[in-house]
């Protein structure tokens, strides 16, 4: 039986003169994009577990390595940024297929195109919502974290499906000596190599001009990232200033309240009279910047012990801030009993500035910046 194809439209689909819209180029670019998305996904799940752990995980979260969250979130943002030029290159390589005629050949073909549409939409959404989050711009009505996290799973599902469907093509074009590759015109190879080289230059350029926000050896090249690790009071960036948080008048009547079986309150002078510890720990913001600083203060576990709390207690921390998502924070016992977790009073040798949380803030190892609560007024054993 002969299949009757629909007539070609009067308006002819465009023809493409570029010769690199082929499976070999799509495979070359696709595998780098795949690596970037895989790194971005794994580090994103780590970030999510540290920021919003499910109940059973709260006490199991490790407070080591000290730099764990800093590296993982630096990679998350860097791989997401690197994926943007890779995605654009990949879309350029395959976009002539948008104009395939007939657009749908079978149910299988329809499902394949649908899954690609879903994949492209989800990846574009993830990369651009993430990028806008790094500059703290939220031009949408939904809350960023849950939606960004949910769509990440959509990307993974659609990507695995895409790889499974394209596996024969991927195998045929993986290496220069793969069987499918030989059939392509050899004269395109130099063009393909220069295309790939320019993609590498683009990825290198966006990486080198932004990665210094967390990888401080490259901080002098940090031209495009929204935060520079050295810019801010006491040589540390600030996310929310004291003015923005409405914490502008901390007076001599400030007290730290510690609640446990034997609750008590301390003045700032009494806190300063307790044994002080010094730690070298980073603030690692989920938005991508991070920087190590020198903190001095009182161990949270000493404060909790004095209130009669057991070594397994979780700690709830409250800020003077009136509202805001980070006014209240809870830490699992892994962080609460870590000797490096401090209620810090000093930063880089000086009394904390208002923007860094005067009179007291939390600093804990291997934790997202959002949970390094500033302007602390109350600790409670749970």
Interface residue list for ligand MTE (CB under 6 A): 236-240, 245, 283, 285, 319, 321, 324, 326-327, 355-357, 369-370, 372-375
As a whole number of angstroms, the distance between CA 347 and CA 206 comes to 32
Which residues from 300-319 bind Mo ion, rule CB under 5 A? none
> Closer to Mo ion at the Cβ: 34 or 369?
369
130 contacts Mo ion (rule: CB under 5 A): no
Q: How far is the CB of 363 from ligand MTE (least distance, A)?
A: 9
> Closer to Mo ion at the Cβ: 172 or 352?
352
Please report which helix (H) or strand (E) contains residue 173, including its range.
helix 144-173
Q: How far is the CB of 224 from ligand MTE (least distance, A)?
A: 19
Q: Show the CA angle centred on residue 362, arms to residues 80 and 237, nearest 5°.
A: 50
User: Could you tell me the two tokens for 177?
Assistant: 């000596």
Indicate which single residue of 258, 279, 285, 376 sits in contact with Mo ion (rule: CB under 5 A).
285
> Closer to ligand MTE at the Cβ: 76 or 90?
76
Q: What is the DSSP string of 165-204?
A: HHHHHHHHHSSTTSTTGGGS-GGGHHHHHHHHHHHHHHHH
369 contacts Mo ion (rule: CB under 5 A): yes
133 contacts Mo ion (rule: CB under 5 A): no
74 contacts Mo ion (rule: CB under 5 A): no
Q: How far is the CB of 221 from Mo ion (least distance, A)?
A: 22
Residue 173 binds: one of Mo ion, ligand MTE, none (C-beta under 5 to 8 A by kind): none
* Structural contact between residues 91 and 364, judged by C-beta atoms closer than 8 angstroms: no
Q: How far is the CB of 283 from Mo ion (least distance, A)?
A: 8
Residue 229 binds: one of Mo ion, ligand MTE, none (C-beta under 5 to 8 A by kind): none
Residue 96 CB contacts under 8 Å (≥ 6 apart), including other chains: 14, 16, 21
Instruction: Give the burial string for 147-161 (b: 16+ CB within 10 Å, else e).
Output: ebbebbebbeebbeb
Q: Show the CA angle centred on residue 274, arms to residues 331 and 373, nearest 5°.
A: 30
> Closer to Mo ion at the Cβ: 160 or 325?
325
Please report which helix (H) or strand (E) contains residue 23, including its range.
helix 23-51
Indicate which single residue of 27, 73, 239, 373 sits in contact with Mo ion (rule: CB under 5 A).
239
Q: Which of 318, 312, 344 is nearest to 330 (CA)?
A: 318
Which residues lie near Mo ion (CB under 5 A)?
Answer: 239, 285, 369-370
């Amino acid at each position: 039986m002969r299949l009757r194809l629909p007539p070609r439209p009067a308006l002819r689909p465009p023809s493409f003169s570029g010769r690199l819209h082929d499976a070999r180029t799509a495979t070359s670019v696709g595998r780098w994009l795949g690596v970037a998305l895989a790194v971005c996904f794994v580090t994103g799940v780590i970030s999510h577990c540290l920021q919003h752990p499910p109940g059973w995980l709260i006490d199991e979260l490790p407070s080591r390595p000290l730099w764990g969250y800093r590296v993982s979130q630096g990679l998350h943002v860097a791989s997401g940024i690197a994926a943007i030029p890779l995605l654009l290159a990949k879309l350029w390589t395959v976009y002539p297929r948008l104009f395939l005629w007939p657009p749908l050949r079978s149910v299988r073909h329809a499902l394949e195109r649908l899954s690609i549409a879903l994949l492209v939409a989800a990846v574009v959404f993830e990369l651009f919502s993430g990028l806008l989050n790094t500059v703290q711009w939220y031009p949408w009505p939904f809350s960023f974290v849950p939606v960004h996290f949910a769509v990440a799973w959509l990307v993974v599902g659609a990507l695995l499906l895409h790889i499974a469907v394209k596996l024969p093509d991927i195998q045929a074009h993986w290496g220069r000596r793969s069987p499918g590759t030989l059939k392509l015109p050899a004269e395109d190879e130099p063009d393909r190599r220069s295309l790939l080289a320019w993609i590498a230059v683009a990825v290198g350029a966006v990486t080198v001009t932004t990665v210094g926000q967390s990888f401080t050896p490259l901080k002098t090249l940090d031209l495009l990232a929204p935060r520079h690790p050295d810019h801010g009071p006491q040589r540390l960036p600030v996310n929310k200033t004291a003015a923005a948080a409405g914490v502008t008048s901390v007076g001599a009547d400030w007290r730290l309240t510690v609640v446990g079986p034997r609750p008590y309150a301390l003045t700032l002078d009494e806190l300063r009279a307790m044994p002080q510890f010094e730690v070298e720990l980073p603030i690692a913001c989920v938005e991508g910047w991070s920087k190590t600083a020198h903190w001095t203060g009182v161990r949270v576990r000493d404060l909790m012990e004095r209130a009669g709390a057991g070594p397994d207690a979780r700690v709830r921390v409250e800020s003077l801030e009136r509202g805001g998502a980070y006014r209240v924070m809870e830490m699992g016992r892994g962080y609460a009993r870590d000797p490096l977790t401090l209620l810090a009073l000093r930063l880089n040798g000086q009394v904390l500035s208002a923007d860094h949380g005067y009179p007291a803030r939390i600093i804990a190892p291997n934790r997202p910046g959002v949970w390094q609560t500033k302007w602390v007024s109350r600790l409670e054993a749970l």
